[in-house]
Amino acid sequence: MEENFVKEVKIGLNSFPIGYFDTPHPLPKKQYYEYFDHPDIEVRRYSFAAFLVLMGNWDATCSFVIYKDDEFDQHVGSILRNRDRLKKEFPNVYIQLLDFLKNIDRDYIQTSRTENTLDPVLRDHLIKVIDEELASRHVTSMKLIIEEMKLQPFFKSDF
């Protein structure tokens, strides 16, 4: 099952090196948070990469993610629970994701979810983590993000 998951997500991410976050990508509708702590690093890699791309598309306003009920809370909660491992394995993807989560306008979340706000305790924890992490690190190059995602670069500058 995980092999199919990785294959589906890789197909959806194939166009990422061409348009980065500015073009929507045909990612399968999945509960990616369920895989953030998976024992297989490739499953973690592609679930985390897919969520990053969805949040990047959302941040770039080229597509919007519609979550039902507490799905967004589940994604954020899973990232926070698994943050040490994700940060160690995929440091550039991790810091870019935090930057997107910081930038996403709460109006989008309010109009796209059945619950109007991120759980207040979860939101406070996320803000604390974002403030701590982004104070000491800054978003890096797309080249490093593409390398961590194990995608084939398109532009010469990404090789």
Residue 133 within a domain: yes
Residue 30 within a domain: no
| Domain tally, the chain | 1
Task: Tell me how many degrees the CA angle 138-79-82 measures, rounded to the nearest 5.
Answer: 100
Model confidence at 43, pLDDT cuts 50, 70, 90, reads very high
Backbone CA torsion sign across 80, 82, 84, 90: negative
pLDDT digits (tens, 9 = 90+) for 94-119: 999 999 888 764 544 544 544 446 77
List Cβ neighbours of 8 (8 Å cut-off, separation of 6 or more).
28, 30
What does the pLDDT read at residue 159?
A: 66
Residue 41 within a domain: yes
User: What does the block give as tokens for 125?
Assistant: 């924890």
Range of the domain at 75: 2-9+16-22+35-158
Residue 70 within a domain: yes
pLDDT digits (tens, 9 = 90+) for 44-66: 999 999 999 888 888 877 776 77
List Cβ neighbours of 3 (8 Å cut-off, separation of 6 or more).
none
pLDDT digits (tens, 9 = 90+) for 5-24: 899 998 888 888 888 888 77
Phi then psi dihedrals of residue 101, to 5 deg: -65, -35
Q: 83 pLDDT exceeds 80?
A: yes
Model confidence at 124, pLDDT cuts 50, 70, 90, reads confident
Residue 124 within a domain: yes
The CA-to-CA distance between both ends of the chain, in Å, stands at 32
Residue 93 within a domain: yes
